[in-house]
Structure 1
Amino acid sequence: MDVLYFAWVRERIGLPRERIETGAATVSELVDELRGREARYEAAFADTSALRVALDQQLSDFDAPLAGVREVAFFPPMTGG
C-alpha cells in the first residue's frame, strides 16, 4: 500500500510517501509498525491525537480496518481561514 505523509509528519520522517507491505489489520496497528522502524517514525507518530488519517482519500479513524485499502495518508488537522 502507499503511505503518504504531509506537513510536519513528512518533515520528521523525511519522505513524502513510501510503498510498504504490512500485516496490520487497522490504522493503529500500522502506526505501531511504523513507530517500530526507527526514531524518526517514533517522533512523527508520538502523539496520534495530533494527527488525522485518510484511507483512499476519505477521512477515517485510527481503528479503521485496512483490508482493501490502497492508500493511507497522515497529516495534521487542517484549519480554515
Structure 2
Amino acid sequence: MKVLYFAWLRSKIGVATETFDPPAEVTDVGTLVEWLKTRSPKHADALANSKVVKVAVNQEHVAYDHPVSAGDEVALFPPVTGG
C-alpha cells in the first residue's frame, strides 16, 4: 500500500509518501488511519483529529468505511477550499 500525505499532514509527519504492508486488521480507511497513528508520535499528532482529514483511495474521494487493500494508493489531506 502506498500512502501519500499532503499539505500540513506532510509537514507534521515529515514525509510525502510511505509504502508498506499494513497488518491484516486494516480493512478500511478508518482502521488504516488508526493504525497510522501508532507508527510514530508525528503520525499520532498529525492524525489526532481525523475528522478534518480527508481521504482518497485510488484517486477517488471516499468515506472512512471504504475498504482498502494492499495494492491501493491512499491519499490523506486536509479539507480543501475553493475560491
Matched length: 81
Amino acid paired to 1:13: I
**Contact kept in structure 1, 2:56 and 2:76, CA below 8 Å:** yes
Matched residue of 2:30: which SS? Answer: helix
Give the superposition deviation at 1:68: 6.2
Supply the distance in 2 between the matched residues of 1:3 and 1:38 (Cα, whole angstroms).
15
CA RMSD of aligned residues (A): 1.2
Amino acid paired to 1:3: V
Matched residue of 2:43: which SS? Answer: helix
* Deviations 1:43-75 (CA, angstroms, capped at 9, x unpaired): 111001111000000000111111365200000
What TM-score do you get using the length of structure 1 for normalisation? 0.93
Supply the distance in 2 between the matched residues of 1:37 and 1:68 (Cα, whole angstroms).
17
**Contact kept in structure 2, 1:56 and 1:69, CA below 8 Å:** no
What TM-score do you get using the length of structure 2 for normalisation? 0.91
* Uncovered stretches (5+) of structure 2, i.e. residues with no partner: none
Matched residue of 1:43: which SS? Answer: helix
Matched residue of 1:64: which SS? Answer: coil
Matched residue of 1:73: which SS? Answer: strand
Amino acid paired to 1:14: G
Q: Does 1:16 align with 2:16?
A: yes
Identity among equivalent pairs (%): 40
* Uncovered stretches (5+) of structure 1, i.e. residues with no partner: none
